[in-house]
C-alpha cells in the first residue's frame, strides 16, 4: 500500500470519527421537552420562528407552546407550575418581585411594548388626547395584564386617576376588541397587532390615540421593555431545568437576530395566527415589528422601569436587576 493511499485512508477514518463525535455530542445535548405559555401576538412570533426554523431543536430542546388570551393568564400558568416557562411583560416580573413571587426573565422577546391605545371614531378624540378619556370606558385584556399596567402609567402621566376618572373593563383577547368597540361597550381599547391595523385600516372604526411602539410617547413610557420569557426560581433550581432555560435563551436569541435580518420570517406565523388579515397588512406588521426583537435586558433598563413603576404606585419598593435576571441566563444572550 502506498503512503498516499495510507494517508487517504487515515483521513477518511478521522473524518468518520469526527462525524461520530458530532453525532454523539448532539445526542448528549438532548435536553427533553419544555412547555411555554404565550399570548398569540407579534412578540410571541419569535418563539414560533425559533421552533419552526429549528433553533430550539438545534439546542436539544423540544418545545410545546400553549396559547392564552392575556399575558396575565400566561404568567399565572407559569407561576402555578402548569407550564415550565411563560411569556409576559418584563414589568410584571417587577410586580411579582414586590409580591414575593421569585421569578427570572429567561430572555427578552421585544425591547418595546407592542400596545396601541385606539379610540372609537364615535368618541371624536384626536391622537394624544388622553385627557379626553375622562368619564369614558376603556378596555384592557385583563386586570393586571401588561396592557392594563401600561395604560395606567399613561393615564397617570396625563393627570387622570384610572380608578376614579374613567372606567376600565376587561375585554379579553384580540377577537373581542372589534366587537366591543362596534357595540359601544367601550369608547377606547388597549390593543395590539393585528388588531391595530384591523381596527384602524381594515374596519376603520377607530383612531390611534397612543402607539407605545414608537418614540413619541409620554416620558414614563419611554425605554420600557416589552415582553419576555420567564420562569420561576423554583423551576430553575434544578440543573436540568436551568439547562433547558439556557437552551431556550440561546435559541430565542438566534431567532431574534434572524428576524432582525429577515422580517419576512415572521409572515408564516402571522398568517397562521391571523388568517383573515390581508397579506400586505401582515407584511407591514412584520416590517414595523421586526426591529424591536432583542434578547438583551440591561441593568439600566431595569433600574428605569423600577423607578417608573414606583413613581406610578404600581410597586411599593425598588426592584434590582439581580431580583429578576439570573446571570447564568444573561450569559446566553450573546
91-135: per-residue pLDDT in tens? 999 999 999 999 999 999 999 888 999 999 999 999 999 999 999
Q: Is the pLDDT of residue 13 over 80?
A: no
Of 216, 218, 242, nearest to 231 by C-alpha is: 242
User: What tens digit of pLDDT does each residue of 147-157 get?
Assistant: 898 899 899 99
Could you give the domains of the chain? 29-112+224-330 (3.40.190.10), 116-221 (3.40.190.10)
- What is the signed CA dihedral for 35, 230, 41, 268, rounded to 10 degrees? -50
pLDDT of residue 72: 78
Percent of the chain at pLDDT > 70 equals 92
pTM: 0.78
Amino acid at each position: 500500500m502506498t503512503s498516499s493511499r495510507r494517508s487517504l485512508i487515515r483521513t477518511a477514518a478521522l473524518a468518520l470519527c469526527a462525524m461520530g463525535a458530532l453525532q454523539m455530542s448532539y445526542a448528549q445535548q438532548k435536553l427533553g421537552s419544555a412547555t411555554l405559555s404565550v399570548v398569540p401576538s407579534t412578540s410571541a412570533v419569535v418563539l414560533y420562528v425559533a421552533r419552526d426554523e429549528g433553533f430550539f431543536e438545534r439546542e436539544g430542546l423540544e418545545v410545546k407552546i400553549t396559547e392564552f388570551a392575556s399575558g396575565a393568564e400566561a404568567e399565572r400558568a407559569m407561576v402555578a407550575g402548569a407550564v415550565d416557562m411563560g411569556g409576559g411583560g418584563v414589568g410584571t416580573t417587577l410586580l411579582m418581585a414586590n409580591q414575593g413571587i421569585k421569578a427570572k426573565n429567561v430572555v427578552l422577546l421585544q425591547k418595546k411594548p407592542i400596545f396601541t391605545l385606539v379610540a372609537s371614531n364615535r368618541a371624536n378624540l384626536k391622537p394624544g388626547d388622553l385627557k379626553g378619556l375622562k368619564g369614558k370606558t376603556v378596555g384592557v385584556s385583563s386586570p393586571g395584564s401588561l396592557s392594563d399596567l401600561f395604560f395606567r402609567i399613561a393615564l397617570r402621566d396625563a393627570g387622570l386617576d384610572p380608578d376614579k376618572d374613567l372606567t376600565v373593563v376587561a375585554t379579553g383577547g384580540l377577537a373581542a376588541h372589534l366587537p366591543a368597540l362596534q357595540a359601544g361597550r367601550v369608547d377606547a381599547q388597549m390593543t395590539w397587532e393585528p388588531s391595530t391595523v384591523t381596527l384602524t385600516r381594515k374596519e376603520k372604526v377607530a383612531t390611534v390615540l397612543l402607539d407605545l411602539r414608537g418614540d413619541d410617547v409620554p416620558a414614563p413610557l419611554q425605554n420600557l421593555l416589552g415582553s419576555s420569557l420567564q420562569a420561576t426560581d423554583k423551576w430553575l433550581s434544578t440543573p436540568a431545568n436551568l439547562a433547558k432555560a439556557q437552551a431556550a435563551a440561546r435559541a430565542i436569541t438566534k431567532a431574534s437576530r434572524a428576524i432582525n435580518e429577515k422580517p419576512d420570517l415572521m409572515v408564516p406565523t402571522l398568517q397562521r395566527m391571523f388568517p383573515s388579515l390581508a397579506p400586505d397588512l401582515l407584511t407591514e406588521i412584520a416590517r414595523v415589528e421586526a426591529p424591536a426583537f432583542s434578547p438583551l435586558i440591561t441593568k439600566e433598563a431595569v433600574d428605569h422601569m423600577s423607578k417608573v413603576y414606583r413613581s406610578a404606585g404600581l410597586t411599593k419598593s425598588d426592584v434590582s436587576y439581580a431580583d429578576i435576571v439570573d446571570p447564568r441566563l444573561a450569559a446566553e444572550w450573546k
